[in-house]
Amino acid sequence: MNSAQTSTDTPHVVICTTGGTITASTAAGGVVVAGDSDPATRAMLDDLRAVLPDSVRVSARAVLDADSSTFGPAEWDVLVDAVEDVLADPGVSGVVVTHGTDTLEETAMALDLVHRDPRPVAITGAQLPADHPDADGPANLLDAVLLAADPVSRDLGVLVVLGRAILQARGVRKWHTTDAVAFARNAPDLPVEGLPAELERPTLRGRARFTDARVDVVACPPGSDAVALRACIAAGARGLVLEGSGSGNLPPLVAEAVAELAVERPDVVVVAGTRVPRGEATATYSGPGGGAELAAHGVLSCGYLRSGQARVLLAALLSTADPVEVRRLWDRYHLYS
């Protein structure tokens, strides 16, 4: 995305809508229905304009309209293109993306990897549908717009704004299915002095196309074998994110298959992560399936990323570089190597 210099004297924030719970309605039996959200979007914008300061101008652009559980690489590409197109206008001060919370963490990562513009992109959503008496979407949208309009948010990349929390994109994951504070961020403690490490967010050199590279996530619980791993390779996966245990360790049968894969298919990039919610995945332990042994076979570690965002990063890198270069670059882009 470009780095156009813009004026923030009269902020103009463009809201890119994608559907999701924030504009969803409730059908008979309490079933939440996403999609066909134009009326709810118009009402949401009317309510927003009624409480915004007169100095902040908002407009909306419909990009997608569905439950985010249906989103994947194709939708990430669509959203990246849409945000880039909006920011081609130097009169825009910032962008807000309204999004379902199910896959918000993947979309936030995809946008952040290519967002080189200093203007902020805030991504928000809701845990309750628009017609719920306690709907949280309006407050979340107001917070996101005010953040995107504020010059203090420049150069921070993509920000997740939900439940009064503001989180940078890398390391974010949905941590609760229903709580208003839906997201948390897995990251190391910040230094007391100096530039916080989180402000160092390198972006990709080229324009990633997430649909160009199939990357699969394989759960590797205790005692699992390599059947799922081999099926993904047979289906054309160019990258694998293996969700292990502890600090990124895999069951022996999976580790054995990974060692064979390193010899037979060096074109397939393998990343090891963990099912543990917080902390860093590292190549620490020896022995069959231990992270250190995996690293000897060229397996990369997820660091502070979890499987969803690691998959996004690996797909992005594989769409812009060959496997040798991906392995060299990996630690530059994942969180705090």
Q: Is 19 exposed, middle or buried (0-12, 13-18, 19+ CB in 10 A)?
A: buried
Closest CA to 2 of 94, 77, 87: 87
* Residues paired with 123 in a beta bridge: 97, 160
Active-site residue flag, 203: no
Closest CA to 106 of 183, 22, 51, 29: 183
Q: Is 258 exposed, middle or buried (0-12, 13-18, 19+ CB in 10 A)?
A: buried
The distance of Cα 61 from the centroid of its chain, to the nearest Å, equals 21
Closest CA to 98 of 131, 123, 80: 123
Rg of the chain over all Cα atoms, to the nearest angstrom? 20
Distance CA 198, CA 237 (A): 31
Q: Which of 6, 17, 18, 21 is catalytic?
A: 21
CA angle 282, 284, 289 (to 5 degrees): 95
Distances (CA, A) of 316 to 45, 222, 262, 306, 322: 33, 30, 21, 16, 11
- Alpha helix (H) ranges present in the chain? 38-51, 73-87, 104-114, 137-149, 227-234, 252-264, 291-296, 307-318, 323-333
Question: Catalytic residues, which ones?
Answer: 21
